[in-house]
Every structure is written in structure tokens, then in C-alpha cells.
Amino acid sequence: MRLPICGIAIIWNKEDTMILVTGASGNVGGAVLRELLQVGAPVRSMYRSPAEVAKAPAGANPVIADFADRASLDRALDGVESVFLVCAPIPQLVELESNMVVACRAQRIRHVVQNSALGAGTYDKSFPSWHYLVEQRLQASGVPATIFRPETFMQNIPTYYGGTIKSDLAFYAAERNAPIAFIDVRDVAAVGARLLTSDEHIGKTYTLTGPEALTYAQVAEKLSKLLGTAIRYVDLTPQQMKQALLQAGMPQWQADALVDLQDYYTEGPGARVTDDVQQILGRPPIYFDQFLQDYAASFGVKSAVA
């Protein structure tokens, strides 16, 4: 396949593509890396420190680099043809991911797959707005790209609410009664790996959701069934939510961003269910009940209740 980059026609043999996975120590980057290793794709994984490299899975071909260090990015990209772009959700996200976009253009990378966010292009606050700025810079760079915008992860439930589910038999948020089409990170990773190993999706933007939209009250019902005891969802006001986050030691910027994001979801955009996962993978996405079965141990259950 011929792909024009900055006016230069380059021959792309997908079978010979070396893929760089950024954010390899993170939830999504790490999951994409594992998917690529499972299918035998040639990979290089990007970490920020020797301590992170020490935890890299076998075959990960790790490299130490930093989004803020252009020279390290050039070294990481040497011999690479495709890049999975994901950065931790921090205030410097736009600057850091844009640095990689510039490096990819200079290195004539032939395909970038960007992990964006639901609401990019429609919501001008919080994480979606940051991701959209990167989307725009990536598209303006001339580097061939595929973008996906995932819904809220199912794994966020045990990660952020697992503690109070165990201690209080309750979890707290400011989502009102908004339905959310939660997606399993494993589906996001499978999509990422498929996009990185195919040229069929270049130029496209996908919205990745699970197969059903659930309110937090419905999530509480499913957790109650799993745990065999009543679990409550306690709806907070945005101000109560922010105060609780700050009291827990969260930085002001992060508390503000999370509350803004929850406010976005209360308007209902998370209820939309797409068939993008089905189209890309040729199978339906994972249902929340299956996620709970697979992650029962995260909630202190040895085996899930049938």
C-alpha cells in the first residue's frame, strides 16, 4: 500500500511492521501490548523508567523514553512503522501527545492509532477536550491515523469504587440516573491491536461502547447479585463529589476534571450503544455480567455467583 506522508510515497508492507506501544505500563497500553504479543505481532513497548521495564511481559522489547524528551522519542521510533498513542490523563496530555505526533511526522511513521475519549469534539471541558486537541493535531500532521473514542471502562468500577464497596457496601458518584454503555478494557485492547495490524481502518474514527447501557443503580443491582448482599449506589451532588475527592487527597485539577466529566455524562451521551466493536472484531463486545464473572476476585469473591 502506498501512503503519502509530506508528499513522499512510501511502500507499506504490513507484515513487516514494527509497532510501538506507548503507555505500556498503563491499563490500556498494557492491555494492547498483551493483545499484540498474543497474536505474534512485532512490537516495541515504551516505558519511562527501568523500574517499569522490569515489569514488562516477555517479548515486549522494551525501550525507555519520555514524551517530554524528543531525542528519546526518536530512539523509540527508530525502525517503527505503527504507533499506539496513549498518555496518562494529566494536564500535560496535549503537549506530551503532540510531541509524539511531531516525532511521528518527522520519522515518517505510517500509521498512528490514537486512544482518545468519548465526548472529544463535542464536550469542551475535562479529558474529552484535551484528547480532541490531540486528534486535531494528529489529523493536521499528515500522518495516517485511526482514532477511537472509548466509553467508560468497566474496570473503573473495582478500581475506583472497590474500596467503599467492600467497606460501606456502597459506592458514590454524581451520575444521577444516566445510562452508560460501559466497555471492557479487554475489548478496547482487542480493537487497538486489530487497528494496528491492519490498514483497512486508516482515516476512520470509532466510538467504542459495550453492548448495553446501564445506570449506576443497575450496576449496584448486579454487584448485589454477585456479592450476595445489598450494594447501594449513593448519588452525590457535584460539589459533594468534588469535596470527597479533595478530602481523599486528589489534586484540585483532577477533582475538577472528574466532576466535569461526570457532569457531562448526566446529560445522557453515554447511553449511546454503537456496533463499532462488532464491526472491527467480528464479535459482540463483552457484557457487564461477564465482566463481573471474570473480575469477581476484584470484589473479594472467590467465585462468581451463578
pLDDT digits (tens, 9 = 90+) for 39-50: 999 999 999 999
pLDDT, tens digit, 9 for 90 and up, residues 143-192: 999 999 999 999 999 999 999 999 999 999 999 999 999 999 999 999 99
Quickly tell me which residue has 508492507 as its cell: 13
* Beta strand 145-150 pairing with 232-235: unpaired
Give the model's pLDDT for residue 15.
53
* CATH 3.90.25.10 residue spans of the chain: 156-180+211-271+286-299
Question: How much is the CA Rg of the chain, to the nearest whole Å?
Answer: 20
Give the model's pLDDT for residue 297.
95
d(CA 109, CA 22): 14
Sign of CA dihedral 81, 82, 88, 94: positive
Give the model's pLDDT for residue 303.
54
Q: Which three cell numbers stand for residue 69?
A: 524528551
Asked if residue 8 has pLDDT above 50, the reply is no
pLDDT, tens digit, 9 for 90 and up, residues 76-110: 999 999 999 999 999 999 999 999 999 999 999 99
Give the model's pLDDT for residue 17.
80
Asked if residue 4 has pLDDT above 90, the reply is no
Asked if residue 243 has pLDDT above 90, the reply is yes
d(CA 221, CA 299): 14
Distance of CA 258 to the CA centre of its chain: 15
Q: Which CATH class is domain 2-151+184-208?
A: alpha beta
Asked if residue 10 has pLDDT above 60, the reply is no
131-140, 282-291, 297-306: least confident range = 297-306
Helices 93-106, 126-141: inter-axial angle, 10-degree rounding:
10
Beta bridge partners of 147: 114, 205
Give the model's pLDDT for residue 9.
31
* CATH 3.40.50.720 residue spans of the chain: 2-151+184-208
Record: fold of 156-180+211-271+286-299: UDP-galactose 4-epimerase; domain 1 (3.90.25)
d(CA 100, CA 96): 7
Average pLDDT, the chain: 93
pLDDT, tens digit, 9 for 90 and up, residues 190-211: 999 999 999 999 999 999 999 9
Kindly indicate the confidence band of residue 11, based on its pLDDT and cuts at 50, 70 and 90.
very low
* Beta strand 2-5 pairing with 8-11: antiparallel
DSSP labels for 47-96?
A: ESSHHHHTTPPTT--EEE--TT-HHHHHHHHTT--EEEE---SSTTHHHH
pLDDT, tens digit, 9 for 90 and up, residues 250-295: 999 999 999 999 999 999 999 999 999 999 999 999 999 999 999 9
